[in-house]
Structure 1
């Protein structure tokens, strides 16, 4: 076969030929794996609407990698290639194509965005690349990837966690007239499914629904619809800025007789920092432990926040902590897979690798390549911080 012919073959075919050749030579290595190095990739929003937060994800991942590299992984060091997806699926496609074809990464870890991951995950797994811990709606990403054995999802499912959290609220607050404000698209659809699950369990019907489009900044009509229906609980299927927007409208109406509960994407420390007094009293469904860098008493959390600030000159947020945690779980999988590393051996070894640290509510394992169990807490915004008012539960 000529060099020109080899370059024109599909990438998965070239990988198979390379693997067969390596076997013949008695030195089989996966793509992205050499005697001295394991090459990883990620794609983050470094130029779009969440660029500030994505920079923290990159920093935290690199910090965890550097810690592992101090001793090495079976004689190898990890190197991370970072590409910008700008929160745009087409940019993500180009980034992943580069990482697969040019860089030939072993795995893509902690890639950011539901749309960007949905556009790229099957391309990566079909090429034999591990995809670990994508920051995206896990159920959607698993479906798009055809439940690939090379995909491992760690973000809690928005439907099941919504059902658990809202179910707790119905039972413990005695609410019965429930309204839903949700984002149009996959994220909102998943949360509405979760709302439906909780309502069916409680034998209730939704009193009012109102959608909003990505990018909307005015939520007066949605909240007015909830008020007209005289709901006693608004479930806010919103992300950061939109959660603040909904609470702002509730406060403008001086509507003190309604509770507002937001799902996992809205229960963020950024919401309390951005919303301040506007979000005081807001309830949130939490999927991981939150720590105040200045006051945490957890030794592991304190070390992470101290080390991060010393290195990068700013306080890490919860997203940085979660990226650090996820990278740690991935590195444990590399250790378990052994020196003779391949995507298949990593995927098999990872099945037996569990994880627990300062971000998790309990020890996590894998069920159909998704992190389980999915425990959620109920928290409330008080004095600019999230305060846990109900311990983690899976609703069972």
Structure 2
């Protein structure tokens, strides 16, 4: 009887030890003791190739991370494919990443239309799609798309922040709106109206859209100028924002020009538009502006510039899209570290939806990333800034779209 009891106890201990070992390391597709394979698509070619800087910065950041040993001994293998800013190509490349490369997750893929095209497929496959390069609200709807999450403030949130700022600082503003005729533009416009509340109907004089296929928006600017508005809310992407800045200057329209943060790059928007023409335009920021002397001795900025010098020495470090990719990669690193050895897709989404007061060294002081099972927008704060001819200068405190 004693021998039977001892044997039973030994067997039980063996089973328990085996179960404990299994619990210590749980792996999903693309994960091993040495590697975590992730994927993304980027517009390395096509009309939005400027945004490929995000993917390049993420690749460089993971190189840096791998050089220091990776995460818990696992190297990050980022497979970044060109989608040409084409939704059908994004679907093709994403299917390859999931079905052939068997990546653990999709991380940082850029473009609203491209991410729309792959969203239902990735959710059906239960593949985490994290910190995507889009501000569309469809990536902040966990009740519908539980496997999709954006990173920056969504476009409705940005519009709300603009509306709140105008109500507070320019309550008598006469507003003209130029917007891109897609979800990017329409979500911003919806947020602007929500931020203005009951006054939207009287403050907004005219709303005019443009198609991304149009060569210029000169005619739209002329029509909007004729409204005698004194505020232009310009919800356009870099190419068209630069055109709008030039046209406003050329027509001598005395208007407060508010740009989408998607067009806030000094090097790729304001310089082509002309720095003198760009003076006094307004946008919102949630990052530390690299050209702002305030951050010259900031530890986080020094860390970022050192990274750029070592891992991306041939590019312009003031291009904000590299900073965007850097912050996205840092956020993914944070979530992976929270996962420990439970590297299943389910646990990755659980940890991504459990970020608590996480601060990034390249973001504005006081800005904290938070998520929950019902909140899929990590960042909801931003600061209104104005271009002084050299850099962006703050003209507000941090504004929160949710408060």
Question: TM-score of the superposition, structure 2-length normalised?
Answer: 0.85
Which residue matches 2:156? 159
Deviation beyond 6 Å, 4+ runs, structure 1: none
The Cα shift of 1:142 comes to 4.2
Instruction: Provide the rounded CA distance (Å) in 1 between the counterparts of 2:292 and 2:60.
Output: 17
When residues 201 and 305 of structure 1 are mapped into structure 2, their CA distance, relative to the original with a 3 A threshold, is farther
When residues 229 and 215 of structure 1 are mapped into structure 2, their CA distance, relative to the original with a 3 A threshold, is same
Q: How does 1:127-138 map to 2 (within 5 A)?
A: 127-138=125-136
Tell me, yes or no, if structure 1 residue 285 matches structure 2 residue 284. yes
Which residue matches 1:13? none
Confirm or deny: 8 A CA contact 2:151 2:379 kept in the other structure.
no
Which residue matches 2:80? 82
Residue deviations 1:181-204 (CA, integer Å, cap 9, x gap): 111111121122122213334364
Instruction: Provide the rounded CA distance (Å) in 2 between the counterparts of 1:293 and 1:225.
Output: 35
The Cα shift of 1:28 comes to 5.1
Question: TM-score of the superposition, structure 1-length normalised?
Answer: 0.86
When residues 245 and 139 of structure 1 are mapped into structure 2, their CA distance, relative to the original with a 3 A threshold, is same
Instruction: Provide the rounded CA distance (Å) in 2 between the counterparts of 1:178 and 1:128.
Output: 43
Which residue matches 2:322? 320
Instruction: Provide the rounded CA distance (Å) in 2 between the counterparts of 1:210 and 1:282.
Output: 19
Instruction: Provide the rounded CA distance (Å) in 1 between the counterparts of 2:79 and 2:51.
Output: 18
Tell me, yes or no, if structure 1 residue 195 matches structure 2 residue 166. no
Tell me, yes or no, if structure 1 residue 149 matches structure 2 residue 142. no
Residue ranges of structure 1 left out of the alignment (5+ in a row):
1-22
Instruction: Provide the rounded CA distance (Å) in 2 between the counterparts of 1:358 and 1:165.
Output: 25
When residues 199 and 328 of structure 1 are mapped into structure 2, their CA distance, relative to the original with a 3 A threshold, is closer
Tell me, yes or no, if structure 1 residue 307 matches structure 2 residue 307. yes
Q: Which of 237, 240, 260 does residue 239 from structure 1 map onto?
A: 237
When residues 59 and 211 of structure 1 are mapped into structure 2, their CA distance, relative to the original with a 3 A threshold, is closer
The Cα shift of 1:146 comes to 5.9
Confirm or deny: 8 A CA contact 1:175 1:233 kept in the other structure.
no
Which residue matches 1:109? 107
Q: Which of 372, 382, 386 does residue 388 from structure 2 map onto?
A: 382
Instruction: Provide the rounded CA distance (Å) in 2 between the counterparts of 1:210 and 1:331.
Output: 41
Confirm or deny: 8 A CA contact 2:153 2:379 kept in the other structure.
no
Q: Could you tell which deviates more after superposition, 85-94 or 214-223?
A: 214-223
Which residue matches 1:363? 368
